[in-house]
Chain A
C-alpha cells in the first residue's frame, strides 16, 4: 500500500474527468518531446478517450470489477521456493521508499480536478525509515540516556517499542526464535490529559514512525523494526569508537551527533541498496533481464527522471499477488492469518489488538532463508490472483458502489492504472523491443492467450469485453499474467519471477533510481564503501572536527564499522545482526 490519488470519497476522486498534470511515462520524459502519442496509451479498449478522459466511468469500473472476478477463480498458486515471504514485505517497504503519493485537488469551473504528487523526491534513500531526519520528525527518534548526559544534541537513534522478553512458556523465546526483535514499534495514544492520563480515546492510534504506512499491518511494522535496529546498532558501533576521544578532544557534541547520525544512515542505506541489487532483484527479475541489467550492467534505456507511472501504477503492484493467506510467525504461534495482520495497525486500533502481543512478534528465520534449519514461509507464485485477505476494502479505500465496483485491492489497482495514464501493454512491448529488449513475446501472442483465458469461465464477460481486454489489458493485470506464463508451453514453471516486460519496468526504475541518486561513495565492495563513510564523516583534517590530536578518530570509526559483514542479502543481514546482538538492543 503506497497511497494513490484516488484514496478518498468515491464521487470525489473517481469522478474526475481529466488529469491535472501530465504523468511521466517510462521511456518518455516530461519535456515537449516526451508526450506519447494517444494511440500508445492505455485506453481500456475505448473507455478512455484520446485525451485521457474516461468516457464511461461506470462501465470502466464494471469492466475492472469483472476482471477482478475472473481472477478470483484462479486456483491458489503453489509456493514459490525462489522467494521466501520476507521479500513480500521487503518489497512493500521498498515501495514506501520510492512512492509516497500525496493527493490534492483543484477546481476548474464546476469540475473537481484531483491530482497527486510523489513526495518521495529521493527514492531508495530510506526516507521511509528516517523521514526528514530527527529535527523534523522527532517522534520517530528516541531520547536516550546518552543524550541527556551530553546536553542538547539531536536525537540519533530510531525509536522502537521496548523489548519484551518472553513472560511465559507459551511465548516465543530468544533460543528458539533467533531473529526476533521481541517488540512492537513505538506507539502512543492520541492525547493525554493534564495529569498524564490517556483521554477517552485510549487506543494506540498514533505511530512513532517517520512513515505511518509502515504500520499498515503487523508484518510491515515488524520488518520496519529490523531496519530500525540495524540503524541503532550502527550508531552503537560509532558511539563506542568515538567515546575514548570525546573527553580528551572536546569535540563539538552537537555536530558530532549529526555526523554520527549521517554516517549510520549512510551505512544502513549502503547495506539496503546492496541487498536490493544483489538479493532482491536477483530473485524477482526474469533471468535474462537480470543478466542484462545487473550482471552485465548494460546501459539503462529510460532517462526520463522520476518514477514512471508504469512502475508505481503497474509493474510494482505484482507483490500484492504473492501475499499468503497465513504465515507461521515464530516458534510458538500456530499461524498468523494475514487478515489478522491488517488489524494490528493504528488504522484499525479500534480492534484493540495494539500494542502487538508476543504471539505476533516475527522471528525472521520464518521469513528468509537462514542457517538455523528453519524452513521459511514462501511467497505464492505470481499469478493473476490476489489472496482473499486483500479482497476486503480497508477504511482508507473508497467505499465500493453497489453494481459498479468490486471493492478490494485488485479492483483498486486496476482502476488506479486506468486513471493514472499509463502506456498500453501493446506499446510498451513494441517500444522495449525497438530499444533492443528482444526477450519479450510479441503482443499478438499474448492477445491470443488473454482471449482464451478470459473466455474460459463462462457467463462472466460478453464477447466485446473479452476483445476489449485482450487487445488492451490493464498493465498491473498483464504483469501478473505474463509472469504466470499463462498459455505458454512453459506455464508449469511460471510465477517464480516476473516476466520480461515486468522485469524491464522494475529494473529500469529501481536501478535508475539508484543511479540517479548516487551516494557518492565509491568502492568495489560494501566494506570499502562503508569505510569511505567513516573516513569522510569523521575527517579530522579539516572543518569543525579539525584537531592535531584527533587524527586517530576516523581510523577508530572505520575500524568499528569494519566489523560489519559484506552483507549482500537478507540471510547475511540476519546472521550479522544476531551475531552482533542487534536484536536485543533498546
Chain B
C-alpha cells in the first residue's frame, strides 16, 4: 500500500510547528511566509498547497481522501493507533527478510552520536516532529 511520503522532514516539521503555535517558522525563509499565510489546513488540498510552497516535498497517495488534524493539551496522553491493515502489512513484509523497505529517515544518522550546536538541535527537533507526525508507525 502506497504511503504518504515527505522528502524534506525539516520543512515539514517547521510547518507542523507553525500550525501548532500559530507562529511562522518561515519568516526568514525565501520565499517567506507569515502565519496568516499558513493557517491550519481544513482540507487535503489546503494541506498540499501549503506543503508545496514551503518545499516539504509531500506526496499523498490517491487512496487517502480524508484529513484529521488533532492538537492535544500537555496534560493528555494521546496514543495514536496505526491503521490495522497497514500494521499487519508491514509485519508481513518484515517477516520476509531481505529488502524490508523499513528504513530510518536519514537525519537520524546525520545527527546521532555527536554533540549538536543550537542550529542543529532545532533542525533535528523539526525533523523529528515532522517524522512522528506523518508516519503511521507501520
Binding site for B on A (CB under 8 A): 61-62, 65-66, 68-69, 72-73, 75-76, 325, 334-335, 337, 339-340, 343, 351, 387-388, 391, 402-406, 457-461
A69 and B30 in contact, given A339-B106, A351-B109 (Cβ under 8 angstroms):
yes
Assess the A334–B30 pair: CB atoms within 8 A. Answer: no
Q: Give the distance to chain B from A472, nearest Cβ to Cβ, in Å.
A: 19
Assess the B30–A72 pair: CB atoms within 8 A. Answer: no
Assess the B59–A76 pair: CB atoms within 8 A. Answer: yes
A403 and B53 in contact, given A325-B7, A335-B99 (Cβ under 8 angstroms):
no
Partner of A75, one of B33, B59, B98: B59
Scoring B residues 51 to 77 as 1 if CB is less than 8 Å from chain A, else 0, what string do you get? Answer: 011010101000000000000000000
Assess the B106–A403 pair: CB atoms within 8 A. Answer: no
The answer for the CA separation of A403 and B99 in the assembled complex, in Å, is 41
Most interface-central of B7, B30, B103, B106 (chain A CB within 10 A): B30
Assess the A334–B101 pair: CB atoms within 8 A. Answer: yes
| Cβ contacts under 8 Å, B98 to chain A | 334
The answer for the CA separation of A339 and B8 in the assembled complex, in Å, is 12
| Cβ contacts under 8 Å, B29 to chain A | 402-403
| Cβ contacts under 8 Å, A351 to chain B | 109
For the complex, would chain A's binding face be called helix, strand, loop or mixed by DSSP majority? loop
The answer for the CA separation of A174 and B17 in the assembled complex, in Å, is 50
Smallest CB-CB A-B distances: 7 pairs: A388-B7, A73-B52, A65-B30, A334-B99, A72-B55, A339-B106, A403-B28
The answer for the CA separation of A491 and B65 in the assembled complex, in Å, is 27
Chain A CB within 8 A of B83 CB: no
| Cβ contacts under 8 Å, B109 to chain A | 340, 343, 351
The answer for the CA separation of A75 and B31 in the assembled complex, in Å, is 20
Nearest CB in chain B to that of A352: its residue: B113
A391 and B59 in contact, given A66-B30, A335-B99, A404-B30 (Cβ under 8 angstroms):
no
A391 and B32 in contact, given A334-B98, A340-B106 (Cβ under 8 angstroms):
no
Chain A CB within 8 A of B135 CB: no
Q: Give the distance to chain B from A49, nearest Cβ to Cβ, in Å.
A: 22
Nearest CB in chain B to that of A58: its residue: B30
Assess the A457–B52 pair: CB atoms within 8 A. Answer: yes
A460 and B59 in contact, given A66-B30, A402-B28 (Cβ under 8 angstroms):
no
The answer for the CA separation of A387 and B7 in the assembled complex, in Å, is 9
Chain A CB within 8 A of B3 CB: no
Chain A CB within 8 A of B37 CB: yes
Assess the A73–B53 pair: CB atoms within 8 A. Answer: yes
Could you show 25 A-B contacts with beta carbons less than 8 Å apart?
A65-B30, A65-B31, A66-B31, A69-B30, A72-B52, A72-B55, A73-B53, A73-B57, A75-B59, A325-B7, A334-B101, A335-B103, A337-B106, A340-B106, A343-B109, A388-B8, A391-B8, A403-B32, A404-B30, A406-B55, A457-B52, A458-B49, A459-B53, A460-B31, A460-B53
Nearest CB in chain B to that of A461: its residue: B31
Partner of B57, one of A66, A72, A337, A404: A72
| Cβ contacts under 8 Å, A459 to chain B | 31, 33, 37, 53
Knowing that A69-B30, A403-B29, A460-B53 touch, tell me 8 more A-B residue pairs with CB under 8 angstroms.
A72-B57, A75-B59, A334-B100, A339-B106, A388-B7, A457-B52, A459-B31, A459-B53
Q: What range describes how many residues of B lie at the interface? A: 20 to 34
The answer for the CA separation of A335 and B98 in the assembled complex, in Å, is 10
| Cβ contacts under 8 Å, A403 to chain B | 28-30, 32
Q: Give the distance to chain A from B123, nearest Cβ to Cβ, in Å.
A: 11
Nearest CB in chain B to that of A350: its residue: B114
| Cβ contacts under 8 Å, A65 to chain B | 30-31
| Cβ contacts under 8 Å, A391 to chain B | 8, 55
| Cβ contacts under 8 Å, B99 to chain A | 334-335
Assess the B57–A388 pair: CB atoms within 8 A. Answer: yes
In chain B, positions 1-46 with a C-beta closer than 8 Å to chain A are 7-8, 28-33, 37
Q: Give the distance to chain A from B38, nearest Cβ to Cβ, in Å.
A: 10
Q: Give the distance to chain A from B102, nearest Cβ to Cβ, in Å.
A: 9
Nearest CB in chain B to that of A385: its residue: B57
| Cβ contacts under 8 Å, A339 to chain B | 106
| Cβ contacts under 8 Å, A62 to chain B | 30-31
Assess the B7–A69 pair: CB atoms within 8 A. Answer: no
Nearest CB in chain B to that of A334: its residue: B99
| Cβ contacts under 8 Å, B106 to chain A | 337, 339-340
Assess the B101–A69 pair: CB atoms within 8 A. Answer: no
| Cβ contacts under 8 Å, B55 to chain A | 68-69, 72-73, 391, 406
| Cβ contacts under 8 Å, A405 to chain B | 30
The answer for the CA separation of A339 and B127 in the assembled complex, in Å, is 15
Nearest CB in chain A to that of B100: its residue: A334
The answer for the CA separation of A469 and B100 in the assembled complex, in Å, is 44
Partner of A69, one of B49, B53, B59: B53
The answer for the CA separation of A3 and B41 in the assembled complex, in Å, is 42
Q: Give the distance to chain A from B45, nearest Cβ to Cβ, in Å.
A: 12
| Cβ contacts under 8 Å, B103 to chain A | 334-335, 337
Q: Give the distance to chain B from A75, nearest Cβ to Cβ, in Å.
A: 7
The answer for the CA separation of A343 and B110 in the assembled complex, in Å, is 9
| Cβ contacts under 8 Å, A388 to chain B | 7-8, 57
| Cβ contacts under 8 Å, A404 to chain B | 30
In chain B, positions 65-121 with a C-beta closer than 8 Å to chain A are 98-101, 103, 106, 109
Nearest CB in chain A to that of B30: its residue: A65
Assess the B31–A69 pair: CB atoms within 8 A. Answer: yes
Q: Give the distance to chain B from A574, nearest Cβ to Cβ, in Å.
A: 23
Q: Give the distance to chain A from B48, nearest Cβ to Cβ, in Å.
A: 9
Q: Give the distance to chain B from A63, nearest Cβ to Cβ, in Å.
A: 9
